[in-house]
Amino acid sequence: SSPESKEFKSTFNAALEVYQRYQTTIHNDPIEKVSERQFRRFLVNSPLKPFKPSDGPSQGYGSFHQQYWLDGRLLAVGVVDILPRCVSSVYFFYDPEFHFLTLGTYASLREIAFCRTLHHSAPSLQYYYMGFYIHTCPKMRYKGAFYPSLLLCPEVYSWHPLESCFPLLEHNKYCRFQPDPQARDPDQLTGINDVSVLFLNKAMAYKTFRFLNPANQHQDEVTKYASLVGNKLSRRMLLVLMF
């Protein structure tokens, strides 16, 4: 879907109609809020740049729409990101008329099979990421039916078996899954001097920016950003600084 293929363009109106029916029926969104513009912004336009290496999957990496058709009728659409290590399930919508088919569960099984197929041509791609899991949300309970599954600890960023997390979530909406109270995020912030920033279209370390602009007021902003993305990404990505 990004960039848009011929198949995507030729079926765009059908997908938009299914999306609008889904949002207004299942989520009770007013029709004026599910316009073509909103649909494109939410599920079509992607920040991922398409990348097709020789040792990757045949369709390459990027954002895609997987469509489910029956007798010439579009039933559902799964929006996925194909990444070097996983297939990420971004969103799924379906025609409410076929609610009885439990299409969300079926699509998850198809995406798991798809991930296994991609693994043959791209061995590093070996995970299926289902996105957020909210234990109290009935619409998300189906995600807990797949085994083996792991949940990410929101404090230490370590992975833990779903079955060990369920008892904790039954008592608290927010939980630390890592049982070791002394464990810390191995990528936690250690300093901001080497954070990569972009200033006046030039990439530089934050310490260089600070030397060039001793009166700058960005320290709190840089610290908050780096603490959220971690040491590794704060050096690989560029934080745009402006006066």
- What is the pLDDT averaged over residues 129-148? 88
Cβ atoms 54, 46 nearer than 8 A: no
Measured from the Cβ of residue 61, the count of other Cβ atoms closer than 10 Å reads: 20
| Confidence bin at 9 (pLDDT 50/70/90) | very high
Residue 202, strand partner residues? 199
For 84-122, the pLDDT digits (tens) are: 999 999 999 999 999 999 999 999 999 999 999 999 999
Sign of the torsion angle spanned by Cα atoms 124, 122, 84, 107: negative
For 47-59, the pLDDT digits (tens) are: 998 899 988 999 9
Contacts (Cβ under 8 Å, ≥6 apart) of 70: none
Domains of the chain, CATH where assigned:
6-129 (3.40.630), 134-185 (no CATH), 196-240 (no CATH)
| Confidence bin at 138 (pLDDT 50/70/90) | confident
| Confidence bin at 214 (pLDDT 50/70/90) | confident
